[in-house]
Amino acid sequence: MTDPVTLPDLLAMKRRGEKIACLTAYDASSAALQDEAGIEVILVGDSLGNVIQGQPTTLSVTLDHMVYHTACVQRAARRALVLADLPFLSYCTPEQAVRSAARLIRDGGAQVVKLEGGRERLDVVRFLTEQNVPVCGHLGLQPQAIHRLGRYALQGRDAESACRMVEDARQLAEAGAMLLVLECIPWELAQEITGAVDIPTIGIGAGRHCDGQVLVWQDMLGMSARLPRFCKDFLAGNAGVREAVSAYVREVKAGIFPGDRHSFGRDGP
Ligand code: KIV
């Protein structure tokens, strides 16, 4: 077995220009398969609210749900780094965030915790970092803000919100974030953010210039009722699930996925 992937390894990959392959998983069998195929980061996302629980949003996902699924994944991840989402309203203050992160790390076995938001989360990111809890930020479309946003849509298209997002990314990195997920933003903006921060960016619906890519497992296997435009069904055209994951890893590493038709531009699709 090759050595387990660490955060410094991911940073070194960014510096070398080597793409990072990430997928979501919520159970041990899927995680084992992804791990064997060479996925570097497994995200136990609160998207489990949608794809496992059948909920319309991620808001009903609790810390207990996240701990349970993180522990399932962690048992099977021999090489991949396990990143777990802090669920909705579990990180409102630095003290609450550290208690929530402790559960994901101690009881779930996560190595990094992810939280949504920009400058309004800096206190939380700083405090977690000071306690040696590695943090992954999440900018662009933030599903936990769905009721404020009104709908799941591309973010950062106008100049003002794009500028604000670049500044949020810089501040999150300065506060100690060690990874940054960029969801549903124009590829030009993702490219700018990726160049502006030293930490690896992992995109979903953010174009090919991010340092890595992530997709929801059920989406990349074509199981979802409606495939988002930025996603590709990797099972179609491949002999089985193992082959589909290997194809995903290959295409991400080679910069083939995401292609133009899986990306959004600033001036239109
Ligand atoms: O919860 C999740 O799966 C995520 C990805 C969409 C990045 O946050």
> Domains plus CATH for the chain?
7-262 (3.20.20.60)
pLDDT at 226: 87
The amino acid occupying position 236 is A
The span from the CA of 117 to the CA of 54, in Å, is 24
Q: Residue 196: CB partners within 8 Å, gap ≥ 6?
A: 166, 169, 170
Residue nearest to atom 3 of ligand 1 (CA): 45
- Cis before 200? omega within 30: no
pLDDT at 98: 98
Q: Is 183 known to be catalytic? A: yes
The span from the CA of 205 to the CA of 263, in Å, is 6
Q: To 10 degrees, what angle do helices 28-37 and 241-253 make? A: 50
Low-confidence ranges of the chain (pLDDT < 70): 1, 269
Residue nearest to atom 8 of ligand 1 (CA): 45
Closest CA to 185 of 209, 150, 167: 209
Ligand 1 centre and the CA of 47: distance in Å? 6
Instruction: Looking at the CA of residue 214, tell me the nearest atom of ligand 1.
Output: 7
pLDDT at 2: 84
Instruction: Looking at the CA of residue 114, tell me the nearest atom of ligand 1.
Output: 8
Q: Which residues line ligand 1 (CB under 6 A)?
A: 24, 43, 45-47, 85, 181, 183, 204, 214, 216
The span from the CA of 184 to the CA of 146, in Å, is 14
pLDDT at 268: 72
- Tokens for 26, please give them: 């919520």
pLDDT at 267: 83
pLDDT at 269: 61
Closest CA to 43 of 217, 260, 224: 217
